Amino acid sequence: MLLISNIKWGEVAVRSKEATKTKILDAAKVILARDGFEGLKINNLADEAGVGKPLIYRYFSGLDGVVAALAQNAVANDKDGGQNIFDINAGEVDGDVLLRDLLAGGRGLASNRLSRDLLLWSLASDDAPDIAVLGSDGGDLPEVGGADGTDGTDADVDRQATYAILKAAIAFVVLYRDRHDSWAGLPIKTPNNMARMERALAKIVSKVWG
């Protein structure tokens, strides 16, 4: 009986924790919608959520973790199931797998405004949190090359650097098309031209990764 009781208490504790985390994240969304990113401060968040600041630090390690969770949830709730372009785990490096993940990342970012806003905020504001989920410190880059990044069919190709450039290029185009119609002479809001860029990306990946 004691064991069953402990299990039930454990389930209650888990549900309580998840409910509190959800309350904090929901409060953060309210603040963002009402006051913008400038209003997303720890004190404001605690007041809006009706929780103590220690709970925010306990569950999210601070504002950085809250914003990271918002970005992760935004992608997870995306109708296309897209993966955030800065949260790709290429794993076993294979050209087809890498291309699929790059495309899914780009499409996921393109279809989720909150993720794009969070990324722009992290790039434009000195006061923005360090959003680790967006790879702002480069720490999430998978090993896609040898120690020098140049293993594979062409010893002159640095796969790690190429991978980083491709991710940056995809993110830039996705962010840029929110405010502009074309880049480098190419209209970037039409499905046909987006498909052209995806085919070009596939060609680059096939050349570098085989």
The reported pLDDT for the residue numbered 147 is 42
How confident is residue 45, by pLDDT bands cut at 50, 70 and 90?
very high
The token duo for 118 is 């969070």
The whole-model pTM stands at 0.66
pLDDT of residue 79: 45
Rg of the Cα atoms in the chain: 20
Which pLDDT tens digit goes with each residue over 1-11? 455 555 555 56
145-169 residue pLDDT tens:
544 544 544 557 788 888 889 988 9
Q: HSE (CB half, 13 Å, CA atoms) of 164?
A: 16
How far is residue 186 from each of residues 81, 140, 165, 192, 195, measured CA to CA in Å? 27, 31, 19, 11, 12
pLDDT digits (tens, 9 = 90+) for 188-208: 999 899 899 999 999 999 988
